[in-house]
Amino acid sequence: MRKKILFAASIFFALSFVSGCRSNGKEEVSNATLSKERISHSKGFGRGNTDFFKVYEAEEGLEVFQKAFSKAVKQEGIVDMEEPEFDLEVKDKEGNKQEYHLWIGEKDETSTLMKAEDTNTIYSVLAKETNELIDLIE
């Protein structure tokens, strides 16, 4: 009986370890459903700019940001970035507000997102989503 319990516990821990490894460090920037997105030119780290030049509340524009956030991949390592290009203020359906810094890539290149309160972690935005973000920001 003791061997069966030990065997079952070993299987449980092995499966937990494998499923943890399989996530491959994928951590979403935000998984909340967005209701508003505001964009401004950045004034630098820790200085959120409230002089917004674009505001999105329609589903079409928000879909692009939602997809970019959900597909962004957390990057491991030490973050040493230039001053951000854009600041994003995001509100979800529950009214929670989150601020981000955005470095937009060229067409068909990746972009970078950073939560304003966590300057030690960045997230890479895929080229396809970068192209869509460029279209929204221009």
Q: What does the pLDDT read at residue 32? A: 63
Each residue's pLDDT tens digit in the chain (138 positions)?
433 333 333 333 333 333 333 334 445 555 567 778 888 899 888 777 889 888 888 777 788 888 888 888 998 777 788 899 999 988 888 888 989 999 999 999 999 998 888 888 899 999 999 999 998 887
For residue 122, give its domain range: 27-137
Is 111 within the bounds of a domain? Answer: yes
Is 62 within the bounds of a domain? Answer: yes
Q: What does the pLDDT read at residue 10? A: 34
Specify the pTM.
0.72
Is 34 within the bounds of a domain? Answer: yes
Number of independent structural domains in the chain: 1
Is 130 within the bounds of a domain? Answer: yes
Is 51 within the bounds of a domain? Answer: yes
d(CA 93, CA 116): 20
Q: What does the pLDDT read at residue 31? A: 55
Is 121 within the bounds of a domain? Answer: yes
Is 124 within the bounds of a domain? Answer: yes
Q: What does the pLDDT read at residue 103? A: 93
Q: What does the pLDDT read at residue 94? A: 85
| Contact (CB, 8 A) for 62 and 56 | yes
Q: What does the pLDDT read at residue 30? A: 53
Is 5 within the bounds of a domain? Answer: no
Short-list 49, 30, 5, CA closest to 97: 30
Domain of residue 76, CATH code: 2.60.40.4400
Q: What does the pLDDT read at residue 14? A: 33
